């Protein structure tokens, strides 16, 4: 009985960690994409509006 509980607890914990890893991955992807976009936007902005 206790083995079954341990198995289910382990499975739930694994799924939780897996879900967190996926969420972190997505956050990192969004952050990197956002940073890339911000850098592009800033270079366009500086070349267009700021005095050379």
Indicate the average pLDDT of the chain: 87
The CA-based angle 9-26-16, given to 5 degrees, is 5
Task: Report in angstroms the alpha-carbon separations of 36 from 7, 21, 26, 30, 45.
Answer: 43, 22, 15, 10, 14
pLDDT one digit per residue (tens) for the chain, 52 residues:
788 999 999 999 999 999 999 898 888 888 888 888 888 888 888 888 876 5
For residue 2, what pLDDT is reported?
86
pLDDT, position 30: 86
Give the Cα separation of 22 and 33 in Å (integer): 16
Q: What pLDDT score was predicted for residue 16?
A: 93
């Amino acid at each position: 009985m206790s083995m079954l509980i341990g198995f289910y607890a382990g499975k739930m914990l694994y799924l939780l960690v897996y879900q967190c890893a996926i969420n972190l991955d997505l956050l990192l992807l969004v952050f990197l994409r956002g940073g890339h976009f911000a850098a592009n936007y800033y270079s366009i902005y500086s070349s267009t509006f700021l005095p050379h």
